[in-house]
Amino acid sequence: MNPPVIFPPDKLLKNLLRRLLGVRASLLFQALIVVMTASGLAQGPVQKQPLEFGPVRWDHLQAKQATKLQMFSGEYGPGFLRRPGELTPDTWFHDGHLRIYALLNLGDVVRTCELQRGSGPVFMFGNARVPDLLDRLTLTFDGPEFPRAGEEISLRELSSYFNCQGILVVKHGKVVFEEYPGMDPGQRHHWMSVSKSMLNLLMGKLLFEGKLDHSKKVEDYIPELRGTGYGSFTVQEVSDMNADVNLDENNFHDPASTFWGFGRSLGWFNEDGRWNGGVREFVATLRRLEKPSGEAGQRVRYASSSSVVIGWIIEKITGEPLTETIEKSIWRHIGAVGNASLSIDKTGFPFVGAACSSTLRDLARYGMIWANRGLAPDGTRIFAEEWMRENMSGKGPLMRLDYHYRNQSFSNEHAIVHQGHSQQMLWVHPASGTIVACFSSMSTPGGGLPWSALAPLRMAETIERHLREKHIAEAP
């Protein structure tokens, strides 16, 4: 396996001089390199880095181990200039550098469709920048097995531990902080499970249009699921990840597992010819399991197949393809700079449980709907304010920390949160108008370590508290 070929700067410069000056460019080039080398401006040709990683790597961190933070371990630069030759649908989800590439270029790996931004104006953020925000703020993070648990560290260092590729802080529509340590601002990045929040938004829209009843059973909306594992659950149970089925979302390593069958039906892994009806055909094969008793029964039973069921219900109610509903009801109203994309199965059904990709700024524009309690940047009312209060009611099984899962999102009654595999996050605090959005590439087999999903939450809470205490960007 070879890393992408990157043209050394000396060759690029030579070619440029040849074009500008003709055949004598070679002599001029040699003289220029001598001068630049002597002055420390040039260090000779760039050498290809081997794929082998050093002794310490950001996705192999162990508690109490000395750490040398390095975003990409030197083997690949941010953004990638060329598709890795060893990238396949069966490798992108697990291996470190392949997943980083796929997160930034999902359309190179899976089947996708475009969400058109429409012809409306771009929503322009204001400016209230605090350039040293991540260096100024510190916290003591005690996440389980965190290498520096109990020590005070800066937010910049904390974000490096989960390999943050881009972070954007917005308050009242003004950019407070923005940085891209591992991607280009114009690149689209995969949202992973942050995409589930679109289902929350659409459910709120349909509920207050009188078209959706959460107390009804799934089979009342989807006759195809009558008598199946999901059929007898209520819509609310499925929305809250309170429906237990035999999909083990943590079984990444066994190609014979239900998780791999799920991925193949989505087109995320190499298809094996079994799921010609796509992911909806797969979902109909899942079995209902008994809910655990005691404390375990109060915790979320996370399965992205539940998101497929909610998306299917929405499609049944609207009578139109779910991709069109998302484009028409959401994406055309946020003032996006560009299109987004959704991954789709072979029937065209999107995996809204983890389908969307966009720029970071467009994710924050989408977050404005949540910050404004259902009002989109273009002034369109997407859902009623009562839906936001319902989402932040504290109902639903426990997700992590003091956040409870409700309607394909989770909240601690102050902030509504959407997190995704490899540590993507959209964190919104409606009362203060604060949005913290970040794209990351925490590249361990499970997308993180025991502490890694908690770290972005604590980072966002620390930022919001500081902005509120210092009265930064208070006016809308």
Q: Read off the pLDDT of residues 191-237 as tens digits, 9 standing for 90 and up.
A: 999 999 999 999 999 999 999 999 999 999 999 999 999 999 999 99
pLDDT of residue 41: 46
CATH fold of the domain at 113-122+160-469: Beta-lactamase (3.40.710)
Where are the domains positioned within the chain?
A: 1-48, 113-122+160-469
Residue 81's pLDDT is what? Answer: 57
pTM of the model: 0.84
Closest CA to 449 of 132, 57, 130: 57
Q: Could you tell me the end-to-end alpha-carbon distance of the chain, in angstroms, rounded to an integer?
A: 52
Q: What is the pLDDT of residues 359-371, one digit of tens each?
A: 999 999 999 999 9
Q: pLDDT value at position 22?
A: 53
What integer pLDDT is reported at residue 54 of this predicted model? Answer: 32
DSSP class of residue 463 equals H
**Residue 318 — very low, low, confident or very high, per pLDDT cuts 50/70/90?**
very high
State the CB neighbour count (10 A cutoff) for residue 128. Answer: 19
> What average pLDDT does this structure show over 40-57?
38
Q: What is the structure's pLDDT at 11?
A: 52
Give the contacts of 74 (CB within 8 A, at least 6 positions apart): 49, 54
Give CA–CA dist 433/404, Å, rounded: 21
Average pLDDT of span 167-187: 96
pLDDT category of residue 245 using cuts at 50, 70 and 90: very high
CA-nearest of 206, 143, 237 to 457 is: 143
Instruction: Give all strands (DSSP E) within 26-146, no chain letters.
Output: 112-115, 126-127, 138-140
Cβ contact 433:475 at 8 Å: no
**Residue whose entry in the numeric block shows the structure tokens 């280009």:** 184
What single DSSP character describes residue 234? Answer: B
Query: Tokens 């977050």 identify what position?
Result: 367
Beta bridge mates, 193: none
Q: Is the predicted pLDDT of residue 35 greater than 80, yes or no?
A: no
* Nearest one of 56, 57, 147 to 100, comparing CA atoms: 57
Bridge pairing between strands 126-127 and 174-179 = parallel
Query: How many Cβ atoms sit within 10 Å of the Cβ of residue 176?
Result: 25
**Residue 45: both structure tokens together:** 């040709």
Query: What mean pLDDT is predicted for residues 46-59?
Result: 34
Q: Using alpha carbons, select from 367, 10, 71, 55 the residue that is nearest to residue 198.
A: 367
Structure confidence at residue 442 (pLDDT): 87
pLDDT digits (tens, 9 = 90+) for 392-433: 999 999 999 999 999 999 999 899 999 999 999 999 999 999
Q: Which residues contact 209 (CB under 8 A, 6 or more apart)?
A: none
- Out of 1-5, 165-169, 246-250, 264-268, which region has the weakest mean confidence (pLDDT)? 1-5
Q: How many CB atoms lie within 10 A of CB 328?
A: 15
Q: pLDDT averaged over the chain?
A: 86
